[in-house]
Structure 1
Amino acid sequence: MSEQAWKAAWIWGGGEESPRNEWRCFRTTFETPEEELAAAAELRISADSRYVAYVNGVRVGRGPVRSWPEEQFYDTHRIGHLLKPGARNTIAVLVLHFGVTNFYYLRGKGGLLAEVTANGTALAATDASWRTEKLAGQDASSPRMSCQQGFAEVYDARAWDGEWTEPGFEDAAWAEARVVAAVGEGPWKSLVPRDIPFLTEEKLYPSRIESLQRVKPPAYTAAIDLRNAMMPSTVDHANPATFVGYLATTIALPAAGRVTLGFPSGARKGRVWVDGRLVEGWTGEQPERYADVDLAAGEHFVLIDVTSQDHGGSFHLAAHADVAFDLRCPLEGSDTPFALVGPFDEAVHIDTEAPRTVDLEEPGYVRAAGASSMRALEPAGDLIRPLPSAYYTEQDVFGANVWRPVAEAYAIPQGLERGLLPTPEPAELPRFGDGDTELIVDFGKQRSGFHGFEIEAPEGAVIDFYGLEYLKADYRQHTYGLDNTFRYISRGGRQRYESPVRRGCRYAAITVRGAAGPVRLHEVYVVQSTYPVVDAGAFQCSDPLLNDIWDISRHTTRLCMEDTFVDCPAYEQVFWVGDSRNEALVNYYVFGALDIVKRCLRLVPGSKDESPLYLDQVPSGWKSVIPNWTFFWAIACMEYVEHSGDRAFAAEMWPHVRFTLEHYLEHINDEGLLEIRGWNLLDWAPIDQPREGVVTHQNLFLVQTLRKASSLAAAAGRPAGEADPFVRAASSLASAVNEKLWDEERGAYLDCIHADGRRSTVYSMQTQVVALLCGVAEGERKERLERYLVEPPARFVQIGSPFMSFFYYEALEATGREALMLEDIRRNFGQMIDNGATTCWEMYPNFAENRANPDQLTRSHCHAWSAGPAYFLGRSVLGVRREQLGWKKVRIEPTPCGLTWARGAVPLPNGGAVEVQWRIDGNEMTLRVSAPEDIELDVRLPEGVTGRVTTVATKPVPE
């Protein structure tokens, strides 16, 4: 239906156009006169930023999918089965408006657009007659989850009627909504129908209780959004910002005592002064920092240096003592305990521009350091002001979980597990006379979705939720940089709460605080929400370890398929463009989904107004470019066409690919090499990949991309010669790489040439692998690099992430070294299995960034850029490979690599699958292949092997 057919208008309420972290409720009622009309009813809906919609009290959906504001997606829900003909029906919608830009949302303004239609008749449409009210139970000052995401939540059920979605709710006291834009106006220039299916809603329960503890939090915890407080304009972008400044407060003690100051997630500059004296003796495992300060009775001035590069998120601080104390703002009229001092200097960093830094030696900054009172800071003038309450909260669940002055383990009582499941008999939680009750529940695997519980609790009891990815004995891997929490305050009695905020975790620390009476747990659950796929692909073999690795690769990919591919379901939930190329290939072999791949590829050119080089994560307010990520996107466009046979898609994407590559070619320097300023990333390992200069791996991938672009133009049916400039550019660039970036003495390609002309002294396996993969190394050089695949020189930087291993495995496969690939998979991914992993990790265990803490094996424990084994086991061990566009011809050539049997399936883009079973005994193989009858099969036994081949053709379903 065209936009002109909409009867609805965008509506909002309250006095702010784009309020920070506001949850707003909307309602209307309408009549459905005829049963036939009711049965045909649909709800079309969109919102800024996210919505949860209810019809007659029943939740019908969540959305919308992430969008560029210029192309706002809307959803269509069939709701006829929920309507009551001849009666009043109710539509209720909860809208979560972020009010800040992040890595998956660009700040627009609060808005809801909704319309119920049936057979072309509008039964209800958002207008000024709708009622609206801010959800009073939600605390808008709750902490930012991370720079990538929105907000954690604090919800006080005492302040809100949970029946507001029901038909009989009385909303007469609510305000009338106000129309903020017509369709096609405001930030939302056009409306686009949802282009993928709705995500799953699978209610899953924990598998066990991991631990029971009596705990106590610090006496004081708080979370502050320093970035937005210091630099308010940063709500409109997600670029890194650097500022020079301080927090100031006063600690008041009625009696002398020792106070421990703590920073549960890190201390920024790590400089704190009390009464002008620098605090020393800091302890704690990084990034946590703690220090004891002996203080006399009275007031003490505290100055905290918070100078930092800040990408967004929460700054957590805390204090604890065995004596009473109080924090007070040293300024009059403040509603928080802190004053802001600064910023004395500030800068915003955009990767596509020249680097900018702040002057840390700025005179005002130096004078302020070590001040013993507010009077000493008076020369700062207007740079001193109270910290606004919008950026401050003492409802800090993360800080209270990281720093636990009391944590005492108890045996788990028999029957307590009943409280996890929806049985008729709840479990009463143990209570402690002095302290809170903490349960850690294990969901059995990493999960992604919306967490909830049903509980009986006294009014005012606090239930804290904290999602964790990894535990081992007494070690908890805290989600530093991610506030993966929510707090629920009980209204009293039996009640249910389900968070509308997506979270990823395997374990949940559930802590009951301040309960004045018994607390009974009826159930704990997660509504797992992922892209709707079934296990169309399959793999098993004679090696149980490889089977386990394939399983965790599949589960990782599933959890990282939301409304786009995302890097991880916990820390970021961001569509990283380069990651998704590899994730799409894994998906082809495991699930066979197509629409999500097309959606991801189509989103990328929407960033052209931010950068013609295209952003590395979209839709996003961080103006960041990783050239390789753009190259992988262009390659993925052609790979999708090769996989699906969709030439119309090639024609659609060709102009966008051509556009960005033409702009990249403008960065070819006088030496014929790509020289560019950006985030020149390929691997986390310490390869030499500066932000300015000639980076070899980027030049190599550009060669491959230009060649793939030529193939895309041909698939799109473009006139002969249209892509010739790219063919010539690829040839010229390959020649320049071989002439300028090869070191004959070292027998390898160097990593880079720095912006000042200095040739890198670093040589890495990453660069050599890419030179092979992109077909730039030829002749003796190619032979030498192939030897490096088998025996990497010790002096070379070694591969540091599963992401880079994907390209390594491509090179091994291309050179017939599949046995070496399986050996590498067993060694590296086997470490994950040995540590109980149910998903693939972002990094290999104890990579350089983790060495400060040997228990921290990786950052993210669920990261789809690492799921490559599921792709390569299907291609190599099963031996299923596409030979022609759209899988019209398939080659089957297993590589046993010491295995005795394997079986599995690879889904096809137009339905059906290629199924393979083989068994080998000595040099004799039995091989069975099943495939649709319209697929041409080229079945080959491994070299040197004889045996029997059986093929079975499956027929299509009659039309």
Structure 2
Amino acid sequence: MTPTPDPSPFPSPTAHFCWYDRERPKPFSAAFFRRAFEISQIPYRLSIIVSADNRYRLWINGIPIGRGPLKGTPSRYYAETYDLAPFLKQGRNVLAAEVRWLGDLGPISEVHTDEPGLYVQGIETEILDTPGKWKVHPDTSLSPNVDDPYKAARGWLGYLDKIDYRVQPTNWQSPEFNDYHWQTTLSVGEVPIRNPWGIDPAHCLVERDIPHLLETPLDFDSILLNRTPTEFPFTILPGESKELWLDAGKLTTGYPNLHFTGGEGRRIDITYAEALGKWQDGRWEKSRPRSDIDSSEPHGYSDSIILDGGQTVFEPFHWRTFWFIKVKVYSGDQAVTLTRADYRFTTYPQDFSARFICAHPQVKKLWDISLRTLQLCAHETYEDCPYFEQLNYVGDTRLQALCSYYLANDTSLAKRCIQLYRHSLQSHGLTASREPCNERQEIPAFSLHWILMLNDYWKWVGPDGRDFVRSNLPAVISVLSYFRDHLNQHGFVGELDNWTWTDWVAGWERGVSPADQGGNGSTYHTALFALALEAATRLIDETESSDDSGQWKALREQLLISIREKTWSSEDLYFLDGPGREEDPFSQHAQAWAILSGAATSEQREALKGRLLDDTELKKMSLFQRFYLCQALDRIGDSSHFFPKTLDPWYQLIHDAFTTWPENEKNTRSDCHAWSSWPVIEFFQSLLGARPAKPGWREIQIAPRYEATRSACGSFPSPVGEISISWECDENGFFRIDAKTPTGIPTYLTLPNGRTNSYPDGGFIELELRPKAQSVEA
């Protein structure tokens, strides 16, 4: 896949943002827009540029054709381009848009301005430009759902919807609707895309740089009344109130569509639940297993609607996350029938064409759950979780991007996220830990993880991404300078600003290691800095940047010496969490990161072998940090327990009927956290052993971890073409491998005995070794 180019500014604007008044915005505002126009002959192309503050949905002749704008910031405010020609007809046509301006009630993951508006600009003609002949109707049917009992979601998602369909125009998107009583639109601001005085304006429009999200129609698995399956249509009589549960069969993200007939004035609450659960001691606890239909119930945040008595189809403006939906119908004077319920599954469009199988019995479930989790945590950015925050955190995103590379050879969303972090850099040298976000947060370690993520991108894309990677190097140098300036007298990363989160570990308040609170510095942050220095110097050298990598290489060596000399316990044969932290429990974190950074000597690595998983006294890494534990075990040749021990927490989650991987293995808030899907990365780069030996896969290394399993088979797309590998190896010394790499790409194969075979032209590789017999090679 060719990396998506940086979004570029649009041509000079001819339109203005428009709204229904110029008054100071209310806390919440929404409007419907229509532009009727006549076509005598359908053109070959009729293109428009569309944006809005905050969000829009677009129709042409009653057909929905798009949503936007893509998440961004005011200085890089996104817009989408549409070709209307395929939807036009001779005669009257209507372009329609619903726009919502959420003000202070919007999601934390969206950054907008304090002025609402719709923007439409024609490319071939200006007849559809706003405000022009557009008409508008303030949406008085919509208000924030302040009755929502699930207050935990409000801080992240803002308020959900409360809609009174009795005061909403019906079928207003269609050409047949009569809009004679609607207002004419008013200009509320020009769009100064280019400013000769260097002033950064709001709404500096740039073109959307990723595809629109998929929307795939799906049916619910079942509809339940009193925990018993029932069928559509389902009627609730006058005076009755009932609860129906819609079961999607698994956690999902999508737009539910609920079709009602009748029931004028009746209120209906639509509640979205990640899982079933119970109230215990006044607190909501999700059940284990998550689908315990016999004794548990759905609970979560809600939309609320009031029916108009006709045919009503409810669809939320923004996608929702749910496994179960509780539809609570309140008592009323008229009967109401739920005639149908379905939903459109939505996600970022990635073609997960990779395949992997091996002899381990749980691999199929591990694979399926991981891919589903990755789908639900990828929309306009990668997300930590779809149910709550919907935020693009660096630590999460690095692992999600690696999954996208191996599973789909998709680099566009990763490149977009790298760019978002780069633009969040501030003068003191740190990027934001999450972006976009209307509340800036900094986790210093995540700025180092961002450098590792940029290095991953470079290794995957190679020379095609040189200009983009170089454009990020000034920010890389700023991050390195920040950490260099925070080294203490021990040669360790010392006291840092803001939230020095390391991992969710029992006894570590807010995820902060005690070593980061003692003043002497932590092994984790220092080793992570050293690893980021190694990645940064590689980026500088391999992209042929004019930056000086020498000073950073020297600094890295100093850090490694400090870690070796000041944290290694020759008595316990473990690394301390920091200088002088002899009284603290040892952690997997200090050991893994000392190994990954290169600080651990060969003797120290040998001493750690076989102990990082078996020693129950070590502070354990979470599902997230366990990726780095796995990398460390791989580095010291200790991968034999990949399935029986490293992945034990995942097996328990399968037993508890999770359909996605949660944030943590116990007491998890989020049931869908894609940082826990990293095992699929290891299926390819460790079990199959496939890694780029040169950036862009211009050379290929195949070095399977034969001790992890007896056989593995898989294929994945790469920038140079599909790579497939199948191998088997038994305890008696029999070994066979069949591989296919793109022709003309030099390939290096490491055998179980450690020998490396070279295949200068790649292509088909077949090799068989038998005990006490000559090998057969083709």
Q: TM-score, normalised on structure 2?
A: 0.86
Query: 2:154 aligned to 146, 149, 156, which one?
Result: 146
Query: 1:689 aligned to 474, 492, 513, which one?
Result: 513
Alpha-carbon separation, structure 1, partners of 2:351 and 2:702: 24
Partner SS for 2:259: strand
Per-residue displacement from partner, 1:299-358 (whole Å, max 9, x unpaired)? Answer: xxxxxxxxxxxxxxxxxxxxxxxxxxxxxxxxxxxxxxxxxxxxxxxxxxxxxxxxxxxx
Query: 1:537 aligned to 354, 359, 381, which one?
Result: 354
Query: 2:470 aligned to 648, 651, 655, which one?
Result: 651
Partner SS for 1:492: coil
Per-residue displacement from partner, 1:629-669 (whole Å, max 9, x unpaired)? Answer: 11111111011011111222221211121122223322223
Contact 2:443 / 2:500 at 8 angstroms: preserved in 1?
Answer: yes
Contact 2:14 / 2:129 at 8 angstroms: preserved in 1?
Answer: yes
The Cα shift of 1:175 comes to 2.7
Query: 2:211 aligned to 189, 197, 201, which one?
Result: 197
Per-residue displacement from partner, 1:190-216 (whole Å, max 9, x unpaired)? Answer: 21101111110111111123x423xxx
1:775 aligns to 2:598 (yes or no): yes
Which residue of 1 is the match for residue 141 of structure 2?
A: 137
- Report the residue type matching 1:456 in the other structure: T
Which residue of 2 is the match for residue 824 of structure 1?
A: 645
Query: 1:75 aligned to 80, 94, 98, which one?
Result: 80
Q: How many residue pairs end up in the alignment? A: 719
Classify 1:459/1:825 alpha carbon distance in 2 versus 1 (closer, same or farther; 3 Å): farther
Contact 1:109 / 1:187 at 8 angstroms: preserved in 2?
Answer: no
Contact 1:105 / 1:620 at 8 angstroms: preserved in 2?
Answer: yes
Partner SS for 1:74: strand
Which residue of 2 is the match for residue 594 of structure 1?
A: 411
- Report the residue type matching 1:818 in the other structure: S
Alpha-carbon separation, structure 1, partners of 2:205 and 2:444: 30
Per-residue displacement from partner, 1:425-454 (whole Å, max 9, x unpaired)? Answer: xx2246596x62212222122211222211
Classify 1:616/1:71 alpha carbon distance in 2 versus 1 (closer, same or farther; 3 Å): same
Within a 5 Å distance, the mapping from 1:743-892 to structure 2 comes to: 743-752=569-578, 761-792=584-615, 794-799=616-621, 801-844=622-665, 847=666, 850=667, 858-892=668-702
Partner SS for 2:254: strand
Which residue of 2 is the match for residue 20 of structure 1?
A: 27
Which residue of 1 is the match for residue 498 of structure 2?
A: 678
Task: Report the more deviating stretch, 651-660 or 888-897.
Answer: 888-897
Contact 2:639 / 2:708 at 8 angstroms: preserved in 1?
Answer: no
The Cα shift of 1:529 comes to 1.5
- Report the residue type matching 1:781 in the other structure: Q
Alpha-carbon separation, structure 1, partners of 2:557 and 2:703: 33
Alpha-carbon separation, structure 2, partners of 1:739 and 1:920: 40
Which residue of 2 is the match for residue 404 of structure 1?
A: none
1:566 aligns to 2:383 (yes or no): yes
- Report the residue type matching 2:261 in the other structure: E
Which residue of 2 is the match for residue 52 of structure 1?
A: 57
Alpha-carbon separation, structure 2, partners of 1:523 and 1:901: 47
Contact 2:19 / 2:116 at 8 angstroms: preserved in 1?
Answer: yes
Task: Report the more deviating stretch, 727-736 or 879-888.
Answer: 727-736
Alpha-carbon separation, structure 2, partners of 1:137 and 1:165: 16
The Cα shift of 1:843 comes to 0.8
1:428 aligns to 2:442 (yes or no): no
Alpha-carbon separation, structure 1, partners of 2:308 and 2:100: 22
Alpha-carbon separation, structure 1, partners of 2:296 and 2:401: 32
Which residue of 1 is the match for residue 768 of structure 2?
A: none
1:723 aligns to 2:546 (yes or no): no
Alpha-carbon separation, structure 2, partners of 1:547 and 1:819: 20
- Of all paired residues, the percent bearing the same amino acid is 27
The Cα shift of 1:618 comes to 0.6
Which residue of 1 is the match for residue 537 of structure 2?
A: 710
Alpha-carbon separation, structure 2, partners of 1:477 and 1:484: 14
Contact 2:748 / 2:756 at 8 angstroms: preserved in 1?
Answer: no
Classify 1:742/1:900 alpha carbon distance in 2 versus 1 (closer, same or farther; 3 Å): closer
Within a 5 Å distance, the mapping from 1:86-165 to structure 2 comes to: 87-100=91-104, 102-117=107-122, 120-127=124-131, 129-140=133-144, 142=146, 145-165=153-173
- Report the residue type matching 2:740 in the other structure: S
Query: 2:309 aligned to 492, 498, 504, which one?
Result: 492
Classify 1:582/1:183 alpha carbon distance in 2 versus 1 (closer, same or farther; 3 Å): same
Contact 2:121 / 2:130 at 8 angstroms: preserved in 1?
Answer: no
Contact 1:689 / 1:752 at 8 angstroms: preserved in 2?
Answer: no
Alpha-carbon separation, structure 2, partners of 1:204 and 1:7: 41
Which residue of 2 is the match for residue 931 of structure 1?
A: 741
Partner SS for 1:52: strand
1:669 aligns to 2:492 (yes or no): no
- Report the residue type matching 2:225 in the other structure: L
Contact 2:145 / 2:303 at 8 angstroms: preserved in 1?
Answer: no
RMSD of aligned C-alpha atoms? 2.9
Partner SS for 1:629: helix
Alpha-carbon separation, structure 2, partners of 1:870 and 1:168: 52
The Cα shift of 1:582 comes to 1.0
Within a 5 Å distance, the mapping from 1:129-278 to structure 2 comes to: 129-140=133-144, 142=146, 145-184=153-192, 188-209=202-223, 211-213=224-226
Structure 1, unpaired ranges of 5+: 214-408, 420-426, 851-857, 955-959
Contact 1:102 / 1:622 at 8 angstroms: preserved in 2?
Answer: no
Contact 1:450 / 1:499 at 8 angstroms: preserved in 2?
Answer: yes
Within a 5 Å distance, the mapping from 1:276-675 to structure 2 comes to: 411-413=228-230, 416=231, 419=232, 427-429=233-235, 436-471=241-276, 472-474=292-294, 476=296, 484-609=301-426, 612-645=429-462, 646-675=465-494
Partner SS for 1:124: coil
Contact 2:448 / 2:479 at 8 angstroms: preserved in 1?
Answer: no
Contact 2:13 / 2:121 at 8 angstroms: preserved in 1?
Answer: no
Classify 1:946/1:65 alpha carbon distance in 2 versus 1 (closer, same or farther; 3 Å): closer
Per-residue displacement from partner, 1:860-902 (whole Å, max 9, x unpaired)? Answer: 1111010011111122333322222111222334445475543
Contact 2:135 / 2:182 at 8 angstroms: preserved in 1?
Answer: yes
Contact 1:48 / 1:110 at 8 angstroms: preserved in 2?
Answer: yes
| Larger gyration radius, structure 1 or structure 2 | 1
Which residue of 2 is the match for residue 398 of structure 1?
A: none
Per-residue displacement from partner, 1:246-305 (whole Å, max 9, x unpaired)? Answer: xxxxxxxxxxxxxxxxxxxxxxxxxxxxxxxxxxxxxxxxxxxxxxxxxxxxxxxxxxxx
Classify 1:492/1:176 alpha carbon distance in 2 versus 1 (closer, same or farther; 3 Å): same
Classify 1:516/1:939 alpha carbon distance in 2 versus 1 (closer, same or farther; 3 Å): farther
Per-residue displacement from partner, 1:583-625 (whole Å, max 9, x unpaired)? Answer: 1112212122111010000000222248631111111122321
Alpha-carbon separation, structure 2, partners of 1:102 and 1:615: 17
Contact 1:200 / 1:530 at 8 angstroms: preserved in 2?
Answer: yes
Classify 1:797/1:769 alpha carbon distance in 2 versus 1 (closer, same or farther; 3 Å): same
Classify 1:491/1:177 alpha carbon distance in 2 versus 1 (closer, same or farther; 3 Å): same
The Cα shift of 1:564 comes to 1.1
Task: Report the more deviating stretch, 673-682 or 728-737.
Answer: 728-737
Per-residue displacement from partner, 1:392-417 (whole Å, max 9, x unpaired)? Answer: xxxxxxxxxxxxxxxxx5x434xx1x
Contact 1:431 / 1:437 at 8 angstroms: preserved in 2?
Answer: no
Contact 1:710 / 1:726 at 8 angstroms: preserved in 2?
Answer: yes
Which residue of 1 is the match for residue 525 of structure 2?
A: 698
Alpha-carbon separation, structure 2, partners of 1:825 and 1:79: 53
Classify 1:758/1:935 alpha carbon distance in 2 versus 1 (closer, same or farther; 3 Å): closer
